Amino acid sequence: MATEAAKTFYLVIKTPEKNFCSEPAEEIILETPSGQIGILPGHEPMVSAVAIGPIRIKKEGEWEEAVLSEGFLEVNQDMVVILVDTAEWPDEIDENRARRAEERAQERLQGKLSRIEYAESRAALQRAISRLKVSSHSHKI
Ligand code: ATP
């Protein structure tokens, strides 16, 4: 008898501060340095860097959104583990703080910066912009 294909995989998202998410998911869509990827149950094993941006998570037929910063992911059998510097749900995002971070990063980018300072300021800007985008959505999309 053929075994039925799994409809979910187990999704774990961790940051150094917290276990952000640990639950079954039907699909995820997130950003990597080489573009957006989608992961469904039965995905072949892989590792990838994770880029700053939104992650969409399908659970029990409903999509939820969160925002991740940089890290790594591993897909292995029926498990996806994502380790990132930071992760927030929309209702955890302080929009004013993100706006201030965006302004600071924009100001820094106007000045003369070393290559490292430039990369850090670009990343800070991207984190702020991503937080603002995700916070303005409702939890369910
Ligand atoms: P800031 O300059 O405002 O600290 P940042 O992008 O440098 O922004 P991070 O280093 O990415 O901040 O995050 C540090 C901690 O603060 C993490 O726990 C992250 O989840 C949280 N955090 C950062 N910005 C926000 C925000 N706008 N709303 C809620 N939590 C935030």
85 CA to centre of ligand 1 in angstroms: 10
Q: Whose CA is nearest to atom 15 of ligand 1?
A: 86
Question: In this structure, which amino acid lies at residue 49?
Answer: A
Q: What is the mean pLDDT of residues 59-63?
A: 96
CB under 8 Å, gap of 24 or more: what pairs does 44-51 form?
Answer: 44/75, 45/74, 45/75, 45/76, 45/77, 46/74, 46/75, 47/72, 47/73, 47/74, 47/75, 48/72, 48/73, 50/82, 50/84
Q: How many other C-beta atoms are found inside a 10 Å radius of the C-beta of residue 81? A: 16
Q: Which atom of ligand 1 is least distant from the CA of 97?
A: 27
Q: Does the pLDDT at position 17 exceed 60?
A: yes
139 CA to centre of ligand 1 in angstroms: 19
pLDDT for position 136: 73
42 CA to centre of ligand 1 in angstroms: 34
Q: CA 118, 124, 127 angle in degrees (round to 5)?
A: 140
pLDDT for 65-119, tens place per residue? 999 999 999 999 899 999 999 999 999 999 999 999 999 999 999 999 999 999 9
CA–CA gap between residue 52 and residue 109 (Å, rounded): 18
CA–CA gap between residue 63 and residue 54 (Å, rounded): 12
Closest CA to 83 of 3, 4, 18: 18
- pTM, rounded to two decimals: 0.92
Q: Whose CA is nearest to atom 18 of ligand 1?
A: 86
Q: Is the CB of 93 under 6 A from ligand 1?
A: yes
Question: What pLDDT band is residue 12 in, cutting at 50, 70 and 90?
Answer: very high
Question: What pLDDT band is residue 6 in, cutting at 50, 70 and 90?
Answer: confident
Q: Whose CA is nearest to atom 9 of ligand 1?
A: 86
